[in-house]
Structure 1
Amino acid sequence: MNLNYPDFFDFICRSPRDAGSKHNGKVRKQIKKFLKDEKISFESSPHRMKVWSVEKAPSVKIIFPFEKKLEALFVKRSVSIQGIARGKIKPAKEILTYETYLWQRLGVYDENDKILFYLIGSEGAYWPQCLDSKREKTPYLMLAGDFFQEVKAGMSENPEMILEASFESKSRQATIENIVILPSENFNGVVFLAHLDSFYNSPGANDNGSGIYILLKLIQNLQGHGFGFIFSDGEEYGKNGTELLIWKMKKEGTLSKIKKIVNIDSAGAGDHLYLCLDAKTLQEFEQNPPLSYQPSFPVHLYPHEDARQYDSWNFLKWGISSVQIGAGSSFSREKKSFYHTPEDTLKNLDKNILEEAFRLALSLGKYFSRKQ
C-alpha cells in the first residue's frame, strides 16, 4: 500500500468503503499486504453482520395542503417502505443515534393512527445516520435541516398536513473483518485504533481515511516497541465491529491485556485538533499537558462523554482508559459540513493538520507507554 500523499487517498477513496462492500474488502486486502510486507504478525477477526444497501433513493414530498418535494436520505438499519406510504404528520419523541446525536422526530400515521414511517432531522444538520436499535421495525428517513424545520412550521399552520414517501433498501448478511496486531512479547498495553469503513454514500477521505493513514504511519514508526494496533470494521453500523471484537477478546482472555486505547477518527480536516479523555486523564492533561513537542494547531480537551459515537467508547464501557483524537472546525451553521457525504474527498483534507494529528498520536503513544 502506497503511503505517499495523495496517492494513498486516491486508492482508498475510489468508492465508499461501507462494511461488507467490495471496496471495503480491497482496502482490507491492501492493509494486510502492507503488514505482511513489513513482516508484522496480525490476526484477522471476521464476523458476520447484517448490512444494508439502498436500491432506490428516498422520495419524500408534501401532498397536502400544497405540493413540495423534500430532500431526504435513508437511515441505516431501517426497514424499507414497501410501495408508497402516505399519511398525516404528528410530533414524536426525540431519538438518539450513535448514543450521541439527538434528533427531532416526526411520525407519519395512516387513517387508523398506525405509524407508517418516521422522519428525523435537526436544525442545520443533514448527516445520514444509523439507528442504534437493531430491531426497529418502522422505516426511518432523514430530512435536510431546512426541510425538517419547514415541515415542523407547516404542521403548526396546517395540522392536516399529509406526506408521501417511498424508498427501497435491502439487507443481507456480510462479513466484516477487524485486523488486530497485539505483540506476543513485551506488549505495553497501549493500542492504537482506527476504523477502516466509511459511510455508505461517502468515499470517507476524512472519515476515516485519515485514521487509516495515520495508523499505518504509526505502525511504520512504532513496530517492535510493544504497541498494539487495530483496524476496526463496521464502525458506521453503530460501532458494531469493535463491539463484536471486544466480546471475542473477552472470551479469549486478551481484552484484559489492553490498558489504553488511542482512537484516531476524522483527523484530517479542520482548524484545530481535539482529544476526548476519560475523567482521570482529562484532569491530568489539564494540569500538565504531556506532549513532547509544541503543536502547530490548537489542541482542545473534552470529556470522553462527548465521544460516544466513536469506537473508543466501546472500550471505555469495559473500563479501558481511552483517548479519542480528531480534528474539528470552527465553522458556522451556514457552512455545510461534508461529514458522511459524497463530498468527503481528498480536496477537503488538510495535509498539515493530518500530519499534526500523526505527531500528536505518536507523542501520546510514547507517553502512555512510559506510564504503563
Structure 2
Amino acid sequence: MRLLLLLLLTLSLFQFGNAQNQVPQIENVQTSYSDNILNLSFDVIDAENDLVDITFSAGDDGDLELNLDVSNATGDLGTNLTPGAGKSISWDFSNYSGFAPDFRIMITVDDNQPVDFQALANEIDSQELLNFLTAIEGIRHRNTGATQLSSVQNLIRSEFESSGLETTTQIFGFGGYTAENIIGRMIGTADMTNCVIIDAHYDSVFDSPGADDNASGVSGVLESLRVLSGYSFDKSIKFIGFDLEEDGLAGSNHYALNLNPSETTVAVLNYEMIGYYSNQPNSQTIPPGFGTIFPAQVSQINANNNRGDFIAVSADLNSTAISAAFQNAAAYYVPGLTSYALDIPVNSTLVPDLRRSDHASFWDVGIPAIMISDGANFRNPFYHEPEDTIGSLDTTFMAQVVRATTITAAQLAGIRHAATYWEDVGLMNSARSPQKCQFQLSPNPTKEYFRLFSNECAMTDLTITIRDVNGRMIKELQINGSDQEIVADISDLIPGFYSVQISSSNFDTTEKLIVQ
C-alpha cells in the first residue's frame, strides 16, 4: 500500500511539474481620453499567478511600426508586476495632439516563461484540419466556382479577423476578374517591420474540388493561425491566402512585386498540397533529373520502395537556412514525419518542377522561401481532377506537416510566452468639426485620373492623400481655394487598390479607389 501511494505521489508530482504553463491573458480593455490624456484599463490573468512584465507602445494608425514616444506613460508598467484586475495606463499625447491623432496602441504582458514547443506542436489537431477542409473543398475557380470561391475568401477573412489579425485585402485586376490576396498580420512586439509569411493559394482549377490542391494548404494556414494566435512574437507574422496561383502564380507575383519598402520579409513558408500520403510501394514517382540533382534523397526514396510517405521541402540557394530550420523542427518535435530537404544547388530556373507554386514569386525577388509539398502529380493520381476530394487525403499526415511548419514559423518569428492586445484608437482633434461628408470618385475603377466631387461639403482647401493597401503614402495633393469638381491625375500609379483620404479643417474622410 505504501508503495502504491508513493507511486501515485511520484506520478502526481511528475504531471504537475510537466504541466504546460499557460500564456497570460489581457481582458476587458477599455479606452477613453480627455485633455490629451489617453486612459486604458484592463485585467491581466495568469493561471499560475506568475509575475509579469507590462509594456505599452503607440504609433500612427496603420503604420507598420509603433515608434511614438510613450516614455511619459504612467500606471501599471514595468517588470515583476502582480497580475490581476483593474490595471491602468495613462499616456499624455500632447506632443501629437496637433495632428488630429488616430493612434495604434499595443499592450504586451509577458510572464517570461519558456515556450513548450512540444506542447505547441501537439495543439495542432487533425479534426480541426478536417473541419477546415470540409468548409473549403469545392471548385474555387473564378468562372466555374465563383460561389465557393467567394465563400472561401470570406472564411479566410473571418478567421483572420476573429484571431485579432490586422486584416487587409490586396485587390488587383486580372482580365475582367477582380482578384483578392487576403492578408492577416499578427503584429510583432519588437522587430515589427520584419515579418515571416505563412501562405497558401485558395483557388482551384476549373473542374476540380481541389481538396489536396490546395484546400489542404489553406487548412494548414488556418490551423497554424489557430495555434499561434495564443502567443506573441518579436517579428510580425503574415498569414496570406493567395488568389490565382493556378493562373501563372498571378496573386503571389502581384504581392511580391508590390512589397512595402518599409517592411522586410525574412522567411516564407508556402503550403502547397500537404494531404496526400501513401505507404504503398511505387506510389511516388521521381521527376526527371532529380536523381542527378538530389542523389541522396532519391536513393532513400528508392530504398523505401518509392513510397509516397514523406513531405518534400524545396529551397533555392537563398533559402537553405529555412529548410534546415524545418528539418530540425520535424526531427525534434514531429519524429513520426519523414521529411526530405530538396535544397536546389543551382539556379532554381533549371529545376522548373520545384517552381510550380507561390514560393517561386518570392525566390524571384530574392526573398527566402520554402515550398512544403506532398509532391503533387508525382504522387497524387487525382491532381487537377474531379476526384481530388477529402476522401483521398490523410489528415494525420497533414497534422504532422502542420506541426513542423508551425514550430518553424514560431522559432523564426521569435515566439514569446506573452499576450498582446492592439487597437486602433481614433481621437478627433478638438480643432476639427465632426462634420460628416461623402465624396464620389469617378470613374472608379480608373486608369488615368478620377474626378472628386461632393454635394454635402465645400470643396475648399483640401488635402488629398493616396495610400496603397499597406498604408504607405503614395501621393499627396494640395487643393487651394474652392472648386465644385476636382480632377486628380493618377496616371503614374500602378494597378491596384488604394485609399483616398480627403481632409480639410472641417472634415476627414476616406474613399476606396481601384486603379486598373
What TM-score does the superposition give when structure 2 sets the normalisation length?
Answer: 0.43
Q: Which residue of 2 aligns with 1:228?
A: 238
Aligned with 1:302 (options 342, 345, 352)? 342
Shift of 1:267: 0.5
Q: 1:369 to 1:288 in 2, by over 3 A?
A: closer
**Conservation of the 8 A alpha-carbon contact between 2:327 and 2:341:** no
Shift of 1:246: 2.1
Q: 1:18 aligns with which of 141, 164, 167?
A: 141
- In the TM superposition, what are the counterparts of 1:126-137 in structure 2 within 5 Å? none
Query: Is the 2:181–2:241 Cα contact (8 Å) retained in structure 1?
Result: yes
1:344 aligns with 2:351: no
Partner of 2:21 in structure 1? Answer: none
User: What is the rounded CA distance, in whole Å, between the counterparts of 1:278 and 1:331 in structure 2?
Assistant: 20
Residue type at the aligned position of 2:274? A
SS in 1 for 2:411: helix
Structure 1 counterpart SS, 2:258: helix
Query: CA-to-partner distance for each residue in 1:336-367, whole Å, 9 max, x for gaps?
Result: 71111111100111011110110111122123
Cross-structure match for 2:153: 28
Deviation for aligned residue 1:46 = 1.3
What is the total number of aligned residue pairs between the two structures? 241
User: Deviation string for 1:177-198 (max 9, x for gaps)?
Assistant: 0011234543342111111111
Q: Say if 1:264 and 1:284 are closer, same or farther in 2 by CA, change over 3 A.
A: closer
Task: Give 1 or 2 for the bigger CA radius of gyration.
Answer: 2
Which of 248, 266, 277 is the equivalent residue of 1:259?
266
Structure 1: gaps of 5 or more residues? 51-172
Contact 2:179 / 2:251 at 8 angstroms: preserved in 1?
Answer: yes
Aligned partner (choices 243, 248, 251) of residue 253 of structure 2: 243
| Residue matched to 1:180 | 183
* Residues 295 and 356, structure 1, Cα contact 8 Å, conserved in 2: no
Letter in 1 for 2:239: F
Question: How far apart in 2 are the matches of 1:22 and 1:346?
Answer: 19
Alpha-carbon distance between aligned partners in 2 of 1:283 and 1:228, rounded to the nearest angstrom: 19
Q: TM-score, normalised by structure 1?
A: 0.59
Tell me: CA distance 1:178–1:296, structure 2 relative to 1, closer, same or farther (3 Å): same
Q: Is the 8 A contact 1:326 1:357 kept in 2?
A: no
When residues 361 and 337 of structure 1 are mapped into structure 2, their CA distance, relative to the original with a 3 A threshold, is: same
Q: Where does the alignment leave 5 or more consecutive residues of structure 2 unmatched?
A: 1-126, 278-308, 416-516
Residue aligned with 2:314, SS: strand
Q: Which amino acid aligns with 1:28?
A: Q
Pick one of 408, 411, 424 that aligns with 1:364: 408
Cα contact 1:278–1:303 (8 A) shared by 2: yes
3-state secondary structure, aligned to 1:343: coil
Q: 1:7 to 1:217 in 2, by over 3 A?
A: closer
Q: Which residue of 1 aligns with 2:221?
A: 215
Seen in structure 2, the aligned counterparts of structure 1 residues 184 and 227 have a Cα distance that, compared at 3 Å, is: closer
Cα distance change, pair 350–362 in 1 and its aligned pair in 2 (3 A): same
1:282, distance to aligned residue in structure 2 (A): 3.2
Q: Aligned letter for 1:26? A: S
> 1:278 — aligned with what?
316
**1:325 aligned partner:** 372
Q: Which residue of 2 aligns with 1:189?
A: 195
Greater relative contact order structure (CA < 8 Å, 6+ sep): 1
Identity of aligned residues (%): 23
Q: Would you say the 8 A contact 1:176–1:233 is kept in 2?
A: yes
